[in-house]
Structures are given as C-alpha cells and as structure tokens.
Amino acid sequence: MATFTNQATLSYNNNVTSSNIVTGELLEVLSATKTAVMDTYAANETVTYIINIVNTGPVAFPDLTISDDLGAYALESTTIVPLTYEEGSLRYFSNGILQAPPSVSAGPPLTIRGINLPAGGNVALLYNVRLNIFAPLGTNDTITNTATITGARVSTPITASETIMAASEAYLTISKAISPSTVTEREPVTYTFVIQNHGNTEATAATRATVTDTFDPILSNMKVSFNGVAWTEGLQYTYDAATGLFTTAAGEITVPAASYTQDPVTGVISVTPGVSVLSVSGTL
C-alpha cells in the first residue's frame, strides 16, 4: 500500500496562497513472487523458476512484460550473468490453464512479452535456466535472481527476487590407467585410480567413498597405496584372490575440496579439483 500527498496553489492579484495538504492511499492490486524449485545449485545444473503474478483488482492488465536479470552481478567494471535461459522451456499459465507460448527473448536479460493478467486472476510462468561458467561455486556463494514486471497500466514496476545458494557437497569423479599397457604373464602391472573432487566440500571419512574393481586377469602379490602411503589388506581394503574382487573400506578414500578462481576481466570461474591417487600393483 502506497501513500501520496497533494496540495493546491491559488494565485490572485499577485498574491499566492496554498491549500492544506491532503493524504491518500493507493491500493496496489498487483503482486508477484519468484521461487526456485530447489534452493541450492551445483555446477552445470538446471534450475527451475516459477514467477506468480496476482491481480486482486477488477480490471485486467494486458500485454505485460517480464524481464529477468538471470542473476546478473557486478565484477569490476563488468556485469556478469551466471544463468542461461534454456530455449523452449517456458510454460505460461493463466488461472491455471496452459496458454500459447508468449514472445521470449533469451537475453540477457531474459524478456517475456505479451502476458495478459486477468481481472481477479493470476498468471504463473515456469522456465529453466542452466548454471554457466560465471556461476560462483564456493561455500556460502549465492545467486540472486530478480524479475521485473512492467506494462502500460502498471504505474510502478513490480519486482520479485529469489536467492539460491551453492550446494556444500563433494562431487567426485574417477579415472583409471594401467602401466605398462602391454605386459606378459607373470610380469608386474600397476593400476592407477585418480579420484577428483569438483565440489566445494572435502570428501572426508564421513562421505564413506569406496572404490571397487574386479581385476581380470587376477592379480597376485598385490600392493596398494593411497596418496603415496602404503595400505594394509584387511584394514584399508579387502581382496579376493580367487575372484579378483578388490574393495576399499568405506571412508578410507578422502579427497580435498576443489578451489575456484575468477578471472577479474572476463568473469569466468575456473575449477581446480582436489585430487587423490589410489595405486594398485601386482603380478598377472
């Protein structure tokens, strides 16, 4: 609810006099909210947003325009946009009924035109955005996304914002190499497992990460090390010499968190994953 004041001036015979000041209240009939389906995000993920616009008045609002800044933020003298609209994802509902797609410009900013808000009704807009190379990923990092609604009958632009936070989690990948790649029977061979953490949180013992592999051909005279430290069978891992099944004990695999750097000129965020190395050697 907004208040306004007004005062009149009377001029006569080179005299000027002012009236009393009156105060009024302007009842706002439009309101808007913006909600993310999930309140956390991770690299390259898709986020679904919902914009709800409600009209409590007796008159419709035709041809509204919604502009979404896609989480834009300032960096030095540059504006960085961490979200990218997914083409074709927009769904437009009026009083709960799916409507024909409106005009959409991916931007940035994302611009949606031709939204008709019925009297005493509501409109819902659902669409997807994807995290791009400008999205901050560190612990406690956030993206605040703001939509602005304008139109010929909208006296003051209406805004609605939503803030989502970077998920605090480990995100692990594993790769495997063999050396030498060509070997004869009864010769030694080494399998190297490189485990990377692209997440902003260390994979600790509580993560209970395990590595399982069935070696074929079966290895004998096995030796295992993790980050250069020798492991003991039955303590940090188990091995079935009859089947070749190798399994690390839950929680013995730990990987440090990734680190993130942002180019101060381009705004691109680079990820340096945390790395741990598991080595398994033996004789074929």
Classified as helix, coil or strand, 153 is coil
Nearest alpha carbon to residue 44 among 269, 275, 274: 269
Q: 4 or 16, which is more confident?
A: 16
In a domain, 101, yes or no: yes
Average pLDDT over residues 92-118: 96
Number of domains in the chain: 2
Average pLDDT over residues 199-213: 97
Amino acid 26: pLDDT: 52
In a domain, 2, yes or no: no
Taking residue 61's Cβ as centre, other Cβ atoms within 10 Å add up to: 22
Amino acid 24: pLDDT: 60
Amino acid 233: pLDDT: 96
In a domain, 46, yes or no: yes
With a cut of 90, say whether residue 231 has pLDDT above it.
yes
Burial class, 83, CB count within 10 angstroms (exposed 0-12 / middle 13-18 / buried 19+): buried
Strand 158-166 with 40-41, pairing = parallel
With a cut of 80, say whether residue 11 has pLDDT above it.
yes
Amino acid 186: pLDDT: 79
* Residue 46 sits in the same domain as residue 160: yes
The CATH number that applies at residue 133 is: 2.60.40.740
With a cut of 60, say whether residue 263 has pLDDT above it.
yes
Segment 150-204, tens digit of pLDDT = 999 998 999 999 999 999 999 999 999 999 988 777 789 999 999 999 999 999 9
Q: What percent of the chain has pLDDT over 70?
A: 97
Which tokens sit at 250?
């839950």
Segment 25-59, tens digit of pLDDT = 555 689 999 999 999 999 999 999 999 999 999 99
Strand 158-166 with 73-75, pairing = unpaired
Amino acid 4: pLDDT: 64
223: containing domain: 172-283
Rounded CA-CA distance 83/134 in Å is 8
Nearest alpha carbon to residue 284 among 183, 148, 172: 183
Average pLDDT over residues 264-276: 95
Classified as helix, coil or strand, 100 is coil
In a domain, 109, yes or no: yes
* Residue 110 sits in the same domain as residue 203: no
* Residue 77 sits in the same domain as residue 142: yes
Amino acid 93: pLDDT: 98
Q: Which of 166, 189, 208 delimits the end of a domain?
A: 166
Instruction: Give the confidence band of 16 by pLDDT, cuts at 50, 70, 90.
Output: confident
* Residue 199 sits in the same domain as residue 130: no
How open is the CA angle 80-86-92, to the nearest 5 degrees?
Answer: 115
Share the mean pLDDT of the chain.
Answer: 93
In a domain, 8, yes or no: no
CA 214 to chain centre: 37
Amino acid 140: pLDDT: 92
Which tokens sit at 115?
């939204």
In a domain, 220, yes or no: yes
* Residue 134 sits in the same domain as residue 37: yes
Sheet holding 40-41, edge to edge: 40-41, 158-166, 142-150, 61-68, 110-117, 103-105
In a domain, 269, yes or no: yes
Which tokens sit at 216?
């074929």
Strand 172-179 with 97-98, pairing = unpaired
Q: Which of 166, 194, 213 delimits the end of a domain?
A: 166
pTM above 0.85, yes or no: no
Amino acid 25: pLDDT: 55
* Residue 109 sits in the same domain as residue 210: no
* Residue 37 sits in the same domain as residue 131: yes
Name the amino acid, one letter, at 107. G
